[in-house]
Amino acid sequence: MSKGIKKPIAKELKADLNELAVWQLADSGWKAVLQSRLTQMNQTRARNLNTPKSENLKVLFSEALGIEDISKTWNWEGMSSLQAAKKLDDFVRLRGEIAHRGAGQQSVTRFQVDAFLNHVKRLVGKTGKQVNKYVKDATGQAMW
C-alpha cells in the first residue's frame, strides 16, 4: 500500500480527539478503515482527473501507487519529459476551451488532433511500462 493512501488516514487518526482511535487499525481493522475511506478518495481523484493535466496525473500516480513523478518517464528521442508534459497540458487546455466555451481561440486541424492522439498514445505506453515495472518490483509478478 502506498504512502499516498496511508498518509491521509494517519493524519486523520492523529487529529482524532478520541485517543483510542488508533486501535481501529488493530488486527484486520486497518482493512475496514481503508475500505471506509476508499469511496471518498476515489471521488476526490475523479474530480481532480476531470482536468487530466500532467500535475494531476503526477498526484494520482504518487498517491495511488507511490510513483513519485510519472512524467519523468515521458520522454523519447526528440521529446523531453518536460516537453511531453507541456504538450499534454496544452492539449488539455485547448480541450477545456472547446468544451466550456464551444470553441477554442484558434481552429483545430485534423493534423493537430492526430498529433495529440499519437502523443497521448505514447504517454499511455510510457506510463503503462512504468506501472508494470513498479508492480513487478513490488510483487515479483508483471502485469503482462
pTM of the model as a whole? 0.74
Residue 76 DSSP class: B
**Burial letters 88-98, b for 16+ CB under 10 A, else e:** bbebbebeeee
pLDDT for 36 equals: 80
pLDDT for 2 equals: 64
State how far the Cα of 75 lies from the Cα of 125, in Å rounded to an integer.
11
- Compute how many other C-beta atoms are within 10 angstroms of the C-beta atom of residue 63: 19
pLDDT for 125 equals: 97
State how far the Cα of 86 lies from the Cα of 48, in Å rounded to an integer.
18
Residue 88 makes CB contacts below 8 A (sequence gap 6+) with 52, 53, 54, 74, 119, 120, 123
> Tens-digit pLDDT profile for the chain (144 aa)?
667 667 777 888 888 888 888 888 888 888 888 888 777 778 887 887 888 999 999 988 888 788 989 999 999 999 999 999 999 999 999 888 888 877 556 678 899 999 999 999 999 999 999 999 998 988 899 988
Set of cell numbers at residue 58: 503526477
Element (H, E) at 91: helix 81-101
Set of cell numbers at residue 76: 523519447
